[in-house]
């Protein structure tokens, strides 16, 4: 009897978050840099300072794993869009959902009307990311960010939709009014 080789798989989501600050020629922080929207009015040449960069793996929660399996093996239907969220302090657990995640709350200290869209690139070698179009958060206050996550609902601070997963930096990160957080999420499925 032929016994095949057992190959397992590991599902990972790696977050890379970069905090940048736009500085006017006089040294003041720009609170309205050109961020690709016609509504932004600042036309000065900015110096862009990188404040910090951090990376972490998140926990793909049970609802997120179910979504992967349903879209891949059962219905073939996936959500047309995914969105990135920021989180406050608290522990993410496998049972968390968008409507029930009592161990943590979402951080909404940014001026975007909705959660930024995760724009997927090309699937290659078991991996896909949004590195060509990072999810940008325009910070509008002083706060502490503890981590990030992904959901299929763009409502800022909302509790509807599917939570794909969330996770934390090794240590919390401070941001200030005028900072921009650029978030890259790499989703990969590797043989184990």
Closest CA relative to residue 115, chosen from 137, 132, 89, 100: 137
- Would you say residue 122 has pLDDT above 70? yes
pLDDT digits (tens, 9 = 90+) for 157-168: 999 999 999 999
Instruction: Report the C-alpha gap between 164 and 60 in whole angstroms.
Output: 6
Domain map (residue ranges) of the chain? 10-191
Say if residues 164 and 19 touch (Cβ distance below 8 Å).
Answer: no
Please name the helix (run of DSSP H) or strand (run of DSSP E) that holds residue 15, with its range, or none: strand 9-23
Following DSSP, what letter does each residue of 107-154 receive, concatenated? E--B--SSPPEE-----BTTEEE-TTS-EEEEB-S-EEEEEEEEES--
Following DSSP, what letter does each residue of 156-171 receive, concatenated? TT---S-EEEEEEEEE
Q: pLDDT band for 4, please (50, 70, 90 cuts).
A: low
Closest CA relative to residue 24, chosen from 42, 40, 39, 38: 42
Sign, CA dihedral 61-64-68-74, equals positive
Closest CA relative to residue 187, chosen from 7, 17, 57: 57
pLDDT digits (tens, 9 = 90+) for 20-34: 998 888 888 887 765
């Amino acid at each position: 009897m032929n016994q095949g080789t057992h190959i397992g798989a590991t599902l990972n989501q790696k977050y890379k978050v970069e905090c940048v600050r736009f500085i006017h020629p006089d040294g003041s922080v720009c609170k309205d840099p050109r961020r690709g929207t016609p509504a932004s009015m600042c036309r000065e040449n900015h110096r862009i300072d990188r404040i910090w960069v951090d990376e972490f793996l998140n926990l793909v929660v049970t609802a997120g794993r179910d979504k992967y399996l349903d879209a891949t093996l059962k219905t073939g239907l996936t959500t047309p869009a995914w969105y990135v969220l920021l989180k406050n302090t608290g522990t993410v657990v496998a049972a968390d959902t968008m409507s029930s995640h009592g161990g943590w709350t979402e951080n909404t200290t940014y001026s975007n009307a909705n959660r930024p869209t995760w724009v997927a690139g090309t699937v290659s070698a078991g991996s896909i990311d949004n590195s060509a179009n990072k999810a940008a958060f325009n910070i509008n206050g002083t706060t502490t960010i503890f981590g990030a996550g992904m959901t299929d609902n763009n409502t800022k601070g909302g509790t509807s939709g599917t939570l794909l997963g969330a996770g934390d930096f090794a240590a919390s990160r401070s941001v200030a009014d005028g900072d921009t957080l650029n978030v890259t999420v790499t989703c990969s499925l590797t043989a184990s």
